[in-house]
A and B are shown apart, each in its own frame.
Chain A
Amino acid sequence: MTALLEVSGVSKSFDGFKAINNLSFSIGEAELRAVIGPNGAGKTTFMDIVTGKTRPDEGEVRWGEKSQSLLKMSEARIAQAGIGRKFQRPTVFEDQTVTENLIMALKAPRGPFAVMRWKPTRDTDERVSDLARQVGLADQLDRRAGELSHGQKQWLEIGMLLAQEPRLLLVDEPAAGMTLAEREQTTALLRRLAETHAVVVVEHDMEFVRRLNCKVTVLHQGSVLAEGSLDHVSANPDVIKVYLGR
């Protein structure tokens, strides 16, 4: 199985502080992966580097069958290439309706003039209502996103992520602020997605990670400390030392 995303030897420092230190990571198509680590382990910076928000000082980030480098590409190009990101705090466009949010995310040509000419068709309408149904917002389509509850915004954002039809999903703490029932729903969704997509879940909550039941990468001080099943890594003495603080 070839890797969809391959990060090798990446380092990044902010004013002397090494946020990422010689980090290597790879994920194949249709794989679910959890990334855990204590605060300041470099989880967010890692996602920033993959999505093009932050340029690493050194190292390589390669993508897809052609192994093209992501380092020269803008955030928008990377997103178009098929990397979707869900933020920790729900970030939806609060001034706009659920429909508008979803339409914006729908996979379609992204250039300004193409967007000007874009018109809703029966297909897109169906796709939007289908997505809304999947994330439980079918009856909220005309409401402004700003009026939704915190959980609903989380779901809307997941819906937007799905609408993009990415090949790799980077999901930052999806369960934060969710009820137990919602967590279970999220777990199911992520596992289902991982059947066809590559999914990287950055998570704090061990319980949630256990439920995902997938390979785990432990980050510490900007590099990979351990990798394997959750049971395997939680047996690792290093991990116990840094992550559990004992």
Chain B
Amino acid sequence: MFIRKDPSILVFLAILALFTIGATLMSEAYGSGALPTSMIKVLGKTLCLALAALAMDLVWGYAGILSLGHMAFFALGGYMIGMWLMYARTGEIVSATLSRAAIPPTPAELQDGIASQIFGVVGSSDLPLAWTFAGSLPIQLILIVAVPGLLALVFGWLAFRSRVNGVYLSILTQAMTLALALYLFQNDSGFRGNNGLSGLQNIPGLTDVPQADISIWFLWASAGALALAYVLAAWLVSGKFGSVIRAIRDDESRVRFLGYSVEGYKLTIFTLTAMLCAIAGALYYPQAGIINPAELAPIASIYLAVWVAIGGRGRLYGAVIGAVVVSLLSSWFTGGRAPDLSLGFYTIDWVDWWQVLLGLSFVLVTLFAPRGLSSLIDLAARLRHPSRRGRDLGPDVGALREREAKA
């Protein structure tokens, strides 16, 4: 069994379980209330980001594809669930209003009412074609993975087929997410332009349940999704498939001469991770409450890569650690909760200086600690990288560097 080969999986799952139980016991809904509901939401969202980072680690750390567009899939997942949330919630409100009239509304009237409620802000009252299935939860749940998956499949097929790789591919994925963001920014694209979808924290049918309860449910769901995805990822990378994608990362032309269709593998891992990101997004945005096209800005995807790099790429727990540490630190510093640092002649206000610190520490990590925060774990586990006299593990640009390798 693959778990026996890699005990870190069990350690990770245990820590995740402890974290979830701890958060539950300190929540307002089921425990002491030491953690306010807003904090529970932050934690739940962080777990979703960790899930996205996990996917990023699979595609970059293991397969060597530096995608700068995976947050686009994350946001698309959010849009897909957001459509249902907004449609069904607006439907509840509209039918409550209409049912006060003497005559019960027809389905068409109901739909018109919902459409003009949702799209009034962009000056439209027609339901766009993309919203055809917005009323149906099962279909929309399928679309959460189907739409980003299909986009990744088509984009990946086009890109990998023409052997675009390395920096070119990174730029191309960045262009993809920018194109998608610009498309969604348009008012007439049918997704409310820059208003985005809002009110997503109100779950249809659960109007009477307080947010404190809903937030903890979402925390559980996020933790569950992360645990499942972690096990799935661990299973994937432990077997022959993992062996092949790591081989592709280090030396893809050699893999070709072994008879593996490199493009097929890249496409598989690209699409699969896109779907994982989409699931993470679908869990994230109901906790965030709002999604708009700014979430697809190329910079968001680069941050995803930053988390993985800071956590240590090529190891699954590294991605999770990176995402959790950096995003929690980010919200701590930018939230104004970090104490100012007085230098005597100048006082550093972290709200202004956190980005500078992050940027520089990121450069330092890349230069001096390629394994990132995982090197601490390696230190504890007495793992040392092999001495390779400075050579990388393979000729490809995505290959692991000497100091990133495990002994």
1/0 contact string of A99-125 vs chain B (CB within 8 Å): 010011100001111011011000000
A104 touching B405 in the complex, CB below 8 Å, given contacts A115-B241, A116-B241: no
1/0 contact string of B233-276 vs chain A (CB within 8 Å): 00010011101101100110111111111101100100000000
Contact check: which of B244, B259, B265, B393 meets A95 at CB < 8 Å?
A: B393
Closest A residue to B406 using CB positions: A95
Q: Of residues A91, A95, A113, which shows the largest number of chain B Cβ atoms within 10 Å of its Cβ?
A: A95
Q: Is the CB of B257 within 8 A of A75?
A: yes
- Taking the complex as formed, is A220 at the interface, i.e. its CB lies under 8 A from any CB of chain B? no
- Taking the complex as formed, is B83 at the interface, i.e. its CB lies under 8 A from any CB of chain A? no
Q: Is the CB of B240 within 8 A of A118?
A: yes
CA distance A128 to B286 in the complex (A): 50
Q: Is the CB of B261 within 8 A of A144?
A: no
A164 touching B265 in the complex, CB below 8 Å, given contacts A115-B241, A118-B240, A144-B386: no
A104 touching B247 in the complex, CB below 8 Å, given contacts A76-B256, A146-B386: yes
Q: Is the CB of B386 within 8 A of A147?
A: yes
Contact check: which of A94, A103, A105, A118 meets B394 at CB < 8 Å?
A: A94
B1 → chain A closest CB, angstroms: 11
Q: Report chain A residues within 8 Å CB of B259.
A: 76-77, 79-80, 110, 164
- Taking the complex as formed, is A43 at the interface, i.e. its CB lies under 8 A from any CB of chain B? no
A36 → chain B closest CB, angstroms: 23
- Taking the complex as formed, is B86 at the interface, i.e. its CB lies under 8 A from any CB of chain A? no
- Taking the complex as formed, is B384 at the interface, i.e. its CB lies under 8 A from any CB of chain A? no
A110 touching B260 in the complex, CB below 8 Å, given contacts A75-B253, A95-B393: yes
Q: Is the CB of A112 within 8 A of B241?
A: yes
A-B CB contact pairs (8 Å), 25 listed: A51-B257, A53-B256, A74-B261, A75-B253, A76-B261, A77-B259, A79-B259, A80-B259, A93-B251, A95-B406, A96-B246, A110-B260, A110-B261, A111-B261, A112-B241, A112-B265, A112-B268, A113-B268, A115-B240, A115-B241, A116-B236, A118-B239, A118-B240, A164-B258, A164-B259
Closest A residue to B243 using CB positions: A100
- Taking the complex as formed, is A160 at the interface, i.e. its CB lies under 8 A from any CB of chain B? yes
- Taking the complex as formed, is A85 at the interface, i.e. its CB lies under 8 A from any CB of chain B? yes
Q: Report chain B residues within 8 Å CB of A85.
A: 257
Closest A residue to B387 using CB positions: A147
Q: Is the CB of A104 within 8 A of B240?
A: yes
**Which of under 10, 10 to 19, 20 to 34, or 35 or more describes the interface residues of A?**
20 to 34
B284 → chain A closest CB, angstroms: 27
Q: Is the CB of A103 within 8 A of B243?
A: yes
A147 → chain B closest CB, angstroms: 6
CA distance A2 to B265 in the complex (A): 36
14 more A-B residue pairs beyond the given contacts A116-B236, A116-B239, A144-B386, with a C-beta to C-beta distance below 8 A: A53-B256, A75-B253, A75-B256, A76-B261, A80-B259, A93-B243, A93-B247, A94-B250, A95-B393, A104-B240, A111-B264, A112-B264, A113-B268, A115-B241
Q: Is the CB of A115 within 8 A of B261?
A: no
CA distance A74 to B260 in the complex (A): 10
Q: Is the CB of B262 within 8 A of A76?
A: yes
Q: Is the CB of B257 within 8 A of A93?
A: no
Q: Write the residues of chain A forming the contact surface with B, with a CB cutoff of 8 angstroms.
A: 51, 53, 74-77, 79-80, 84-85, 87, 91, 93-96, 100, 103-105, 110-113, 115-116, 118-119, 144, 146-147, 160, 164
B389 → chain A closest CB, angstroms: 11
A139 → chain B closest CB, angstroms: 18
Q: Is the CB of A104 within 8 A of B258?
A: yes
> Which B380-407 residues sit within 8 Å CB-CB of chain A?
386, 388, 393-394, 400, 405-407
CA distance A146 to B254 in the complex (A): 15
Q: Is the CB of A103 within 8 A of B240?
A: yes
Closest B residue to A108 using CB positions: B240
Q: Report chain A residues within 8 Å CB of B247.
A: 93, 96, 104
Q: Report chain A residues within 8 Å CB of B258.
A: 79, 104-105, 160, 164
CA distance A95 to B268 in the complex (A): 22
Closest B residue to A84 using CB positions: B257
Q: Report chain B residues within 8 Å CB of A144.
A: 386, 407
Closest A residue to B236 using CB positions: A116
A93 touching B253 in the complex, CB below 8 Å, given contacts A110-B261, A164-B258: no
Q: Report chain A residues within 8 Å CB of B244.
A: 104, 115
A12 → chain B closest CB, angstroms: 18
Q: Report chain B residues within 8 Å CB of A84.
A: 257
CA distance A104 to B246 in the complex (A): 11
Q: Is the CB of A76 within 8 A of B251?
A: no
Q: Report chain A residues within 8 Å CB of B388.
A: 94, 146
> Which B7-43 residues sit within 8 Å CB-CB of chain A?
none
B387 → chain A closest CB, angstroms: 9
CA distance A94 to B400 in the complex (A): 10
Q: 8 smallest A-B Cβ distances: which pairs?
A: A79-B259, A75-B256, A112-B268, A80-B259, A76-B261, A95-B393, A93-B247, A116-B241
